[in-house]
Amino acid sequence: MAEKILAEENLVVRHSALELIEHWAIAISGLILLLTGIFELPVAKRYYLIEIPGLGWSADFITSLYLHYAAALIFTVAAVFHVFHHGLRGEKGLLPQKGDLASSVAVMKSLIGIGKEPPLHKYLPEQRLAYAGMAVIILMLILSGLVKTYKNIYAPDMSHTVLLWATWIHNISFILFFLAFLAHMGAIILRPNWPMVRGIFTGKVRLDYARHRHALWLNELESSPSGNVKEQSPAPCGEKIAPMNIQILIDNIKKHPDYNKVGMILCHNGVVRSFSRDGKPVQEITVSADRKRLAEIMTEMKKRPGIIEILVEIKEGKLRVGDDVMYVAVAGDFRENVFSALMDTVNAIKADVTSKTES
């Protein structure tokens, strides 16, 4: 996977170039299959589609058939490659998980103002359910299409019953694929999903959007040992750690879709002291953080009345006296809600998330 946080650009790499090629190969070839499948019927001339510039060929059955075969080849190769490539790499993020149906209902209710959206992974629960449904549809399309192609090329005397079943399955799958395509387009129209459109074309989404809507995914990235997270890489021993920038958190809060409800942004800037609580001198500390517990605390605190957003940045590794160790930014409607949320969030993080050794 090419997942990576690009903090300075306020972006997260969501999909690799190869994944984008897979997506567009299936999408474009699938669209061509839809069109050429329709053009194999006597509709292009009847409904004057041939008069549309560039569609003069659409009334030619043989041309439509050959284009259908070419698109089917690309469609099948891309689908098979997708299964084996991601299967062999053990990537299961798109597979349905327990509780996806209930989570999908909660997400959809939040879109109409009923309740709050639960913390999400890289993929929305409805995306995983749709993926499973589309996988079944594509499988039926490919298998029934192979039967029909084999009949056309090698077995013109194929059993009428087998051909009839293959045709019905292919036609039903065709309709389901078309409906799924419309549902996919409809999901993009929903405003909360607009930031994901960028990822379809570039593979990247805004970091502030990912923090707001995909907190569990960001937590996994920030705690990843792969070194792909640019904003969480501890400096080698003896090197000065680059300062964090609390302004980035504030700017990200200001991009929140509900920022118009914010009346206050309150920030905490934790710094390494030169002495411990018992008065012993400190030259440096080593900090580690439980990112999973951090995500849970942030989710709990965001449920409080009047709280719009909570962002946290923790610097892990070796830190010297004077280094920034943690930023917490809380945005909400009124100061009485924001002050208490900030204090409780910081206390919970200090108690359950961070651990340190002093030297």
The SS3 call for residue 280 is coil
Kindly report the average pLDDT of the chain as a whole number: 87
Q: In this model, does residue 241 exceed pLDDT 70?
A: no
254 Cα distance to chain centroid = 22
CB of 195 closer than 8 Å to CB of 205: yes
Unique residue bearing structure tokens 């609580």: 277
Which has the closest alpha carbon to 348: 321, 334, 330? 330
The dihedral formed by the CA atoms of 153, 154, 159 and 165, expressed in degrees to the nearest 10: -40
Pairing assessment for the beta strands 11-13 and 204-206 based on DSSP bridges: antiparallel
Burial label, 149 (beta-carbon count in 10 A; 0-12, 13-18, 19+): middle
Q: What is the mean pLDDT of residues 339-359?
A: 93
CA distances (Å), 140 to each of 73, 79, 162, 346, in order?
15, 12, 14, 53
Q: In this model, does residue 47 exceed pLDDT 60?
A: yes
Q: What is the mean pLDDT of residues 92-117?
A: 87
pLDDT of residue 237: 39
The superfamily CATH assigns to domain 235-358 is Molybdopterin biosynthesis MoaE subunit (3.90.1170.40)
Q: How far apart are the C-alpha atoms of 114 and 94, rounded to whole Å? A: 26
pLDDT of residue 230: 40
Per-residue model confidence as pLDDT tens digits over 156-177: 899 999 999 999 999 999 999 9
| Token couple for 72 | 């089917």
| Token couple for 20 | 């984008």
Q: What residues form DSSP beta bridges with 269?
A: 327
Per-residue model confidence as pLDDT tens digits over 260-285: 999 999 999 999 999 988 889 999 99
Q: In this model, does residue 236 exceed pLDDT 90?
A: no
Classified by CATH at the fold level, domain 4-202 comes out as: Fumarate Reductase Cytochrome B subunit (1.20.950)
Share of the chain above pLDDT 90, in %: 52
Per-residue model confidence as pLDDT tens digits over 20-33: 999 999 999 999 99
Burial label, 30 (beta-carbon count in 10 A; 0-12, 13-18, 19+): buried
If pLDDT is split at 50, 70 and 90, which confidence band does 226 have? very low
Helices (H), 224-334: 246-254, 291-302
Task: Give ∠ CA 166-172-178 in degrees, rounded to 5.
Answer: 130
Q: How far apart are the C-alpha atoms of 45 and 300, rounded to whole Å? A: 61
Q: Where are the domains of the chain?
A: 4-202, 235-358
Between 103 and 78, name the one with better pLDDT.
78
Q: How far apart are the C-alpha atoms of 305 and 310, rounded to whole Å? A: 13
CB of 284 closer than 8 Å to CB of 321: yes
Q: How far apart are the C-alpha atoms of 356 and 317, rounded to whole Å? A: 9
